[in-house]
Amino acid sequence: MKKIIPITDLQRQAGQVVGSLSDSDEPVVVTQRGRAAAVIVSVERYQQIEADLERLDELELSEMVERGRAAKAAGEVLSHAEVKRRLGVADVRADAPAHKLTAKRGAKRRRQA
């Protein structure tokens, strides 16, 4: 069961509240004006939450990669040109590599200066 304490009790008994965190895995909910304002957890519990979130992120990324590979194998992909067409992005020059366009723009800027 969650422990709920008003912020004034936390101010008066901060050491006791923090000390009780190591005895229990439960969070302490701090209220202010009758509403939940903060949650305090032990360092160990916080680290566990962080590790769990990291694992979930890795699982989500793995699933996204797997879905992408399955889509590619099934031919459910779009070319770069098709994506740009659907987004309405105009190609500056389709036949020129990006690094050459950048070099030309830089040279043009130097001449204008």
**CATH class given for the domain over 3-41:** alpha beta
pTM of the model: 0.57
Q: Does residue 78 register a pLDDT over 70? A: yes
pLDDT more than 70, % of the chain: 79
Report DSSP letters for 23-58, one per residue.
T-SS-EEEEETTEEEEEE--HHHHHHHHHHHHHHHH
CB atoms within 10 A of CB 109: 9
| Model pLDDT for residues 12-37, shown as the tens digit of each residue | 999 999 988 888 888 999 999 999 99
